[in-house]
Chain A
Amino acid sequence: MAKAAEMKVSDEVAISIQKMNKWYGTFHVLRDIDLTVYRGERIVICGPSGSGKSTLIRCINALEEHQKGSIEVDGTVLSSDLKNIDKIRSEVGMCFQHFNLFPHLTILENCTLAPIWVRKTPKKEAEETAMHFLEKVKIPDQADKYPGQLSGGQQQRVAIARSLCMRPRIMLFDEPTSALDPEMIKEVLDTMIELAEEGMTMLCVTHEMGFARQVANRVIFMDQGQIVEQNEPEEFFNNPKSERTQLFLSQILGH
Chain B
Amino acid sequence: MSDTHAKSVAFVRETTIPQSAPPMAASGPVLWMRTNLFATWSNTLLTIAALYVLYLVLTATMPWMLNGVWNTESLRACREVLDGTSGACFSVLTERWNQLLFGFTYPSELYWRPGLAFALLFVAAAPVLFFDLPRKLLFFTAIYPFLAYWLIWGGSVLYPLLALAGVVVGYLVYSKLVARNFAAGFFGGIAAAVAFIWIGGLLIPETASDNAMLEAVPSRDLGGFMLNMMLGVTCVSLSVPIGIALALGRQSDLPIVKMICVVFIEFIRGVPLITLLFVASVMLAYFFPPESTVDLFLRVVIMITMFSSAYIAEVIRGGLAALPKGQYEAGDSLGLDYPQKMRLIVLPQALKISIPGIVNIAVGLFKDTTLVSVISLFDIIGMIRGPILASTDWAGVYWELFMFAGALFFIVCYGISQYSQWLERRLATDHR
Number of A-B contacts (CB under 8 A): 74
* Bound-complex Cα distance A151 to B2 (A): 11
Instruction: Check if A104 sits within 8 Å of B332, measured CB to CB.
Output: no
In-complex Cβ contact of A102 among B333, B335, B345 (8 A) = B345
Chain B residue with the shortest CB-CB distance to A110? B330
Q: Decide if B333 touches A89 in the complex (CB within 8 Å).
A: yes
Residue ID in chain B nearest A88 by CB atoms: B335
Q: Given that A63-B329, A101-B330 are known contacts, is A114 also in contact with B336, CB under 8 Å in the complex?
A: yes
Q: Does A86 contact B (CB under 8 A)?
A: yes
In whole angstroms, what is the CA distance A114 to B432 when docked? 26
- Is A166 touching B334 in the complex (CB atoms < 8 A)? yes
| Interface 9-mer from B14-22, B27-35, B423-431 | B423-431
- Would you call B336 and A118 a contact (CB within 8 A)? yes
Selected from B332, B344, B429, the residue in CB contact (under 8 A) with A103 is B429
Contact with A along B317-338 (1 / 0, CB 8 A): 0000000101101101111110
Question: Could you tell me the distance between the alpha carbons of A89 and B333 in the complex, rounded to whole angstroms?
Answer: 5
Residues in B whose Cβ lies below 8 Å from that of A82: 181, 337
* Cβ-defined contact, A100 with B335, below 8 A: no
A113 within 8 A of B: yes
In the complex, which residues of chain A have a beta carbon less than 8 angstroms from the beta carbon of B335?
A: 86-87, 89-90, 114, 118, 166
Flag if B431 contacts A146 (CB, 8 Å): yes
Interface size range of chain B in the complex:
20 to 34
Is B418 in contact with chain A by the CB < 8 A criterion?
A: no
A246 at the interface (CB under 8 A from B): no
Q: Is A27 close to B, CB under 8 A?
A: no
Write the nearest CB–CB distance from A66 to chain B, whole angstroms. 15
Query: Would A93 and B337 count as touching, CB distance under 8 A?
Result: no
Do the beta carbons of B348 and A104 come within 8 Å of each other? yes
Known: A146-B429, A149-B431, A151-B1. A117 touches B326 (CB 8 A): no
Complex CA distance for A166 and B329, rounded to whole angstroms: 16
Q: What's the tally of chain A residues with a CB closer than 8 Å to chain B?
A: 30
Contact of B430 among A94, A118, A146, A166 (CB under 8 A): A146
Indicate whether A102 sits within 8 Å of B432 (C-beta atoms), given known contacts A89-B332, A89-B333.
no
Query: A118–B336 Cα gap in the complex (Å)?
Result: 6
Decide if A53 is an interface residue (CB 8 Å cutoff): no
In the complex, are the beta carbons of A86 and B326 less than 8 A apart? Answer: no
A31 vs B150: C-alpha distance when bound (angstroms): 66
A61/B430 in contact, CB under 8 A:
no
Closest A residue, CB atoms, query B327: A100
Question: Given the complex, which residues of B lie within 8 Å of A248, measured CB to CB?
Answer: none
The chain A residue with its CB closest to the CB of B179 is A83
A100 touches B326 (CB 8 A): yes
CA distance A104 to B428 in the complex (A): 8
- What separation, in Å, do the CA atoms of A151 and B5 have in the docked complex? 14
Is A122 among interface residues, defined by CB-CB distance under 8 A? no
For B334, what are the chain A residues with a Cβ–Cβ distance below 8 Å?
89-90, 113-114, 118, 162-163, 166
Q: Which residue of B lies closest to A102 (CB)?
A: B345
Contacts of B324 in A (CB 8 A): 98, 100
Say whether chain B's binding surface is mostly helix, strand, loop, or mixed: helix
- Residue B237 CB within 8 A of the other chain: no
Question: Inside 8 A of A118's CB, which chain B residues have their CB?
Answer: 334-336, 340
A96 pairs with B332, CB closer than 8 A: no
Asked if A148 is at the interface (CB within 8 A of a chain B CB), the reply is yes
Q: Are B349 and A104 in contact (CB under 8 A)?
A: yes
Rounded to whole Å, the gap between the CB of B1 and the closest CB of chain A is: 6
Check A63–B332 contact: CB distance below 8 A. Answer: yes
Could you tell me if A148 and B430 are in contact, using CB atoms closer than 8 angstroms?
A: yes
Interface string of A46-67 (1 = CB under 8 A from B): 0000000000000001110000
Decide if B326 touches A96 in the complex (CB within 8 Å): yes
| A166, B336: Cα distance in complex, Å | 11
Indicate whether B352 reaches chain A with its CB closer than 8 angstroms.
Answer: yes
Are B333 and A104 closer than 8 Å at their CB atoms? no
- CB neighbours of A102 from chain B (8 A): 327, 330, 345, 349
Cα separation A55 to B107 with both chains bound (whole Å): 70
Question: Is A113 in contact with B430, judged by CB distance below 8 angstroms?
Answer: no
Cα–Cα, bound, A162→B331 (Å): 11
Structural contact, A98 and B349, CB atoms closer than 8 A: no
Is B333's CB under 8 angstroms from A61's CB? yes
Max chain A Cβ within 10 angstroms of own Cβ: one of B330, B337, B429, B432: B330
Bound: A163/B429 CA distance, A? 22
Q: Is the CB of A148 within 8 A of B333?
A: no
Please report the C-alpha to C-alpha distance between residue A237 and residue B280 in the assembled complex, in whole angstroms: 76
Most chain B Cβ neighbours within 10 Å, of A98, A102, A113, A151? A102
Q: Which residue on chain A has the smallest CB distance to residue B338?
A: A82
C-alpha gap A89/B181 in the complex (Å): 17
B336 lies within 8 A of A103 (CB) = no
A146 CA to B348 CA, complexed, in Å: 15
A63 and B333 contact, CB distance less than 8 A: yes
CA distance A151 to B430 in the complex (A): 13
| Chain B positions within 8 Å of A94 at CB level | 333
Q: If the complex has contacts A89-B334, A104-B352, A118-B340, are A96 and B329 also in contact, measured as CB distance less than 8 A?
A: yes
Q: How far is the CB of A147 from chain B (nearest CB, A)?
A: 8
Of the candidates A61, A117, A166, the one whose C-beta lies within 8 Å of that of B344 is: A117
Closest to A162 in B: B334
Nearest chain A CB to B180's CB is how many angstroms away?
9
Beta-carbon contact of A103 and B430 below 8 Å = yes
A–B complex contacts, Cβ < 8 Å, 24 sampled: A61-B333, A62-B332, A63-B329, A63-B332, A82-B181, A82-B337, A89-B333, A90-B334, A96-B329, A96-B330, A98-B324, A98-B326, A102-B345, A103-B430, A104-B348, A114-B335, A114-B336, A146-B431, A148-B430, A148-B431, A148-B432, A149-B431, A163-B334, A166-B335
User: Chain A residues in contact with chain B, CB under 8 A?
Assistant: 61-63, 82, 86-87, 89-90, 92-94, 96, 98, 100-105, 113-114, 117-118, 146, 148-149, 151, 162-163, 166
Q: Give 10 closest A-B pairs by Cβ, nearest first.
A: A90-B335, A100-B330, A148-B431, A114-B334, A100-B326, A89-B335, A94-B333, A146-B429, A148-B430, A118-B335
Q: A113-B345, A163-B334 are in contact. List 11 more A-B contacts (CB 8 A).
A: A63-B332, A89-B333, A93-B333, A101-B330, A102-B349, A104-B349, A104-B427, A117-B336, A118-B334, A146-B429, A148-B431
